[in-house]
């Protein structure tokens, strides 16, 4: 009989989280720890992969302490992670070879431009569902092999492993005995044929990546390995699920049937709609990715990746020093009648969907002598909802579905003003999850089901309850607000 607890590890862009769930899906203990971000050059974003592992060990120990549970009672582990970030490490020692290159990093802009000129993009899109953009892992890997000759030598000698953060954590949790990933993470690399569900020889050639350095790609509900030499965990705990963070949130929201959708408002914003077994290639700037159904088997999803969501509020706090705490923005937005014509486009690391313009940078439009601090704050908060609004219609059109309501999760959803504005702009109800950490819940839920710790799907579905926001904006007012946003975007992308 399976042991009674599931450990969900949620490794994000700015911090790591561990949550312990009972066999009824109840949270027994949790912990979170931030880690350092590195910005060695403009447009470069890096993490110390060893610091990520240290943060994971810390939060696991803290969650166990808070729950007053022995680690020996854990029956399964699930891992979810920031997706396109790439780690390179020594196969034998497990030592990271330089810092991890983060999904936000833009150092490969010139390489993406060169690959487009060489005529590769259409064939790459057909196989991967993705675009040439610094966001995705393949360009980061080619940059590493092209700029660091030592990596090529290590690859040829069999001494090198590369992978997304899930692979890196899995290797550490298993004492460097397993080098694997799952389909959802593999589908974000530009190296994986999502139809055949295999690393593709032609893609590997384009990005100069030897197949020998890559992890084995498996379904998300696989038994990936067992813990070994990873304190504070004992040896032998099975790792039963890997999921990229956005696919984990989709699963946590019970969006495993075709036509269901969610948006996560985190550092960026990510709108996904489940397509089932139907593979759709976007013509309008969306990407096609792999998600999973209720069993954890692979299905397809359309995704709109917006690079800057909650990070815009962090910018107000840490960059401009206009606020002390993120939660202040809700009260400021409510008491500020309007933004005075100010429109903020937070393209700090370029524009993602539907434009894919890594060269564009953020801008503030409509400033006058009458512009106030409060107007800039309100306009920045509004920009999050406008970016989601911009890709929503494309999602419905290209997915061939009418989204009647949108489930939402993530830190920024705590802002009720933002959620009401989102409902107003989309003209549909927004369902805000009352429980937090849907990403961790998604991967923990899959691990629990795959291992047998969790027994009944119907009980798990009822674990997530929702607060409803319904549209309250008139059609003319909505049209005018959207017109102002579109005008700013046209000026920025012209």
> Which one, of 302, 311, 263, lies nearest residue 409 by Cα?
263
Instruction: Encode pLDDT of 267-301 as tens digits.
Output: 889 999 999 999 988 888 899 999 999 899 999 99
Distance CA 351, CA 357 (A): 5
Q: What is the DSSP string of 451-470?
A: HTS---HHHHHTT--EEEE-
How crowded is residue 152: how many other Cβ atoms within 10 Å of its Cβ? 15
Neighbours of 65 (CB within 10 A): 12
Copy the structure tokens of residue 204: 């590997």
Whether the Cβ atoms of residue 438 and residue 338 lie closer than 8 Å to each other: no
Strands 198-199, 192-193: parallel, antiparallel or unpaired by DSSP? antiparallel
Q: Are the C-beta atoms of 287 and 129 separated by less than 8 Å?
A: yes
Write down the residue that tokens 């912990």 correspond to: 31
Q: 109-117 and 121-128 helices cross at what angle (nearest 10)?
A: 110
Residue 461 confidence (pLDDT): 66
Instruction: Please give the structure tokens belonging to residue 17.
Output: 């989280």
Q: Which of 72-81, 115-124, 273-282, 427-436 tops mean pLDDT?
A: 72-81
CATH number for the domain running over 5-245: 3.30.420.40
- Domain regions of the chain by residue span: 5-245
What's the Cα-to-Cα distance from 203 to each of 45, 128, 189, 230, rounded to whole Å? 25, 9, 10, 35
Give the position of tokens 């384009």.
206
Buried b (16+ CB within 10 A) or exposed e, 324-336: eebeebbebbeeb
Q: Out of 28-37, 363-372, 384-393, 455-464, pick the least confident.
A: 455-464
pLDDT-based confidence at residue 143 (cuts at 50, 70, 90): very high
The answer to whether residue 264 scores a pLDDT higher than 80 is: yes
7, pLDDT greater than 80: yes
CA distance 167 to 375: 44
Q: What is the pLDDT of residues 43-55, one digit of tens each?
A: 899 999 999 999 9
Report whether pLDDT(151) > 90: no
pLDDT above 70 covers what percent of the chain?
Answer: 98
Phi-psi region of 479 (alpha: psi -120 to 50; beta: other; left: phi over 0): alpha
pLDDT tens digit sequence for 299-342:
999 999 898 888 899 999 988 999 999 889 999 999 998 888 89
- With a cut of 70, say whether residue 231 has pLDDT above it: yes
* 1 pLDDT tier (thresholds 50, 70, 90): low
Q: pLDDT value at position 333?
A: 92
H or E element, residue 399: helix 373-399
Antiparallel, parallel or unpaired: β 298-306 and 269-276: antiparallel
Alpha-carbon distance of 26 to 464, in angstroms, equals 11
């Amino acid at each position: 009989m399976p042991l009674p607890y599931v450990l969900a590890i949620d490794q994000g862009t700015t911090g790591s989280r561990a949550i312990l769930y009972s066999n009824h899906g109840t949270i027994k203990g949790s912990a979170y720890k931030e880690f350092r971000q590195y910005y060695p050059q403009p447009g470069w974003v890096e993490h110390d992969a060893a610091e990520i592992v240290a943060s994971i060990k810390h939060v696991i120990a803290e969650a166990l302490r808070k729950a007053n549970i022995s680690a020996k009672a854990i029956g399964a582990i699930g891992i979810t992670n920031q997706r396109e970030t790439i780690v390179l490490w020594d196969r034998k020692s497990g030592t990271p070879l330089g810092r991890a290159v983060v999904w936000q990093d833009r150092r490969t802009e010139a390489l993406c431009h060169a690959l487009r000129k060489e005529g590769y993009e259409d064939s790459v899109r057909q196989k991967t569902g993705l675009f040439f953009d610094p966001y995705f892992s393949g360009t980061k890997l080619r940059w590493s092999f092209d700029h660091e000759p030592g990596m090529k030598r290590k690859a040829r000698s069999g001494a090198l492993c590369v992978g997304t953060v899930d692979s890196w954590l899995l290797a550490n949790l298993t004492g460097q005995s397993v080098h694997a990933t799952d389909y959802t993470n593999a589908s974000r690399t530009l190296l994986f044929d999502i139809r055949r569900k295999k690393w593709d020889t032609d893609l590997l050639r384009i990005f100069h990546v030897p197949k020998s350095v890559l992890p084995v790609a498996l379904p998300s509900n696989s038994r990936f390995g067992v813990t070994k030499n990873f304190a504070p965990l004992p040896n032998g705990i099975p790792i039963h699920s890997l999921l990229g963070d956005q696919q984990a949130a989709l699963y946590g929201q019970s969006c495993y049937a075709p036509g269901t959708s969610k948006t996560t408002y985190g550092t960026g914003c990510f709108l996904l709609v489940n397509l089932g077994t139907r593979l759709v290639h976007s013509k309008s700037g969306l990407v096609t990715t792999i998600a999973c159904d209720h069993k954890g088997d692979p299905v397809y999803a359309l995704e709109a990746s917006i690079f800057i969501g909650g990070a815009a509020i962090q910018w107000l706090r840490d960059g401009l020093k206009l606020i002390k705490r993120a939660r202040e923005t809700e009260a400021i937005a409510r008491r500020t009648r309007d933004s005075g014509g100010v429109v903020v486009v937070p393209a700090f690391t370029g524009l993602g969907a539907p434009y894919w313009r890594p060269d564009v940078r953020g801008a503030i439009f409509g400033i006058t002598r009458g512009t106030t601090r409060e107007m800039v704050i309100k306009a920045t908060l509004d920009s999050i909802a406008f970016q989601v609004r911009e890709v929503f219609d494309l999602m419905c059109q290209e997915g061939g579905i009418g989204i009647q309501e949108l489930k939402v999760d993530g830190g920024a959803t705590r802002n009720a003003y933002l959620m009401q504005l989102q409902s107003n702009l989309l003209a549909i109800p927004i369902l805000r999850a009352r429980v937090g950490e849907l990403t961790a819940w998604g991967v923990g839920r899959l691990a629990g089901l795959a291992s047998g710790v969790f027994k009944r799907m119907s009980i798990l579905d009822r674990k997530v309850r929702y607060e409803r926001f319904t549209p309250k904006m008139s059609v003319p007012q909505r049209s005018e607000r959207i017109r102002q946003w579109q005008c700013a975007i046209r000026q920025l992308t012209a």
